[in-house]
Amino acid sequence: MNRLLVAGLALLTSASLLAQSAADQLSTLLDKTNSYSAQFQQIVSHAQGQKGEKSSGKFELRHPGKFRWEVNKPYQQLLISTGKELWIYEPDIDSVTVNDLEQQLGATPALLLSSDRQSLINSFHINAKSANEYVLTPKDLGANFEKIELRFANGVLVELNLQDSLGSHTQVLFTDAKTNIKLDDSRFQFTPPENADLIDNRRHTE
C-alpha cells in the first residue's frame, strides 16, 4: 500500500480515536452528575464589542433530559425541560412556547448537559482542550450557535461559553453548585397560565 495512503489513514484513525476519547471523557463527567443545582450569572457580548447584557438566576438539572433555567434579573424568564417537551415562559409578555424536546438538543445548550453519550456524539463534534475543558461544535448547520465551551472544576461544571452565528459571545458562570441532590419532580413540570398566549410547536399525532 502507498506510504502516503497509509500515513493518511493513520492520521484519520488517530483523529477519530481522539474525538472518541473526548466524547467519552465528557460523557463520564456528565454521567457522574445525576442532578445539579447552581446560581448563574450570564453576560452577553456582541460582535461590535458592546458588552453589558447581564442576567442572573438559578439552573437545576436532573437526568435524563430534565432541566429548569430560571432567569430572575433583570427580567423574568423560565425554561423547563420535562424530558419530553421544552417549555418557555415569558411573564412580561404573558407568552408560552412549547416544543418537542427531541428537536431542541442542537438549539438549546442547556439540554446537552442532561444528554446521554450517544445523543452528544450524534449532535456535536467534541474536542478536549484539557481534562477540564471541552469544545462542542454542532453538526446541525442550522443550529443558532457555532460552538460551546464547557469548563469543569473538580468534576463540577463552573463555566459555559457560547459563540453564536452572528459573532456574539455568551459567558455563563455557575456558583454555589450542588450535585447529586434530591430535586422534586415539580421543578420540571409546567402548566401554562390560563390567559397566556400559547405557541404550540409540538408534533401532534392522531
Structure confidence at residue 19 (pLDDT): 47
- Domains of the chain, start order: 3-74+103-190 (2.50.20.10)
Q: Grid coordinates in use for 169? A: 459571545
What helix, strand, coil percent values describe the chain, rounded to 5? 25, 45, 30
φ, ψ (nearest 5 deg) of residue 40: -135, 155
pTM score of the predicted model: 0.81
- With left for phi above 0 and alpha for psi between -120 and 50, is residue 122 left, alpha or beta? alpha
Residues with Cβ < 8 Å from 38, sequence gap 6 or more?
A: 58, 59, 157, 174, 175, 176, 177, 178
Q: What is the pLDDT of residues 106-141, one digit of tens each?
A: 556 677 777 776 777 788 888 999 889 999 988 877
Q: How far is CA 189 from the centre of its chain?
A: 19
Q: What is the pLDDT of residues 15-71, one digit of tens each?
A: 443 445 888 888 888 888 889 999 999 998 887 766 668 999 999 999 888 999 999
pLDDT at 144 (0 to 100): 75
CA-based radius of gyration for the chain: 19
- Check pLDDT > 90 for residue 189: yes
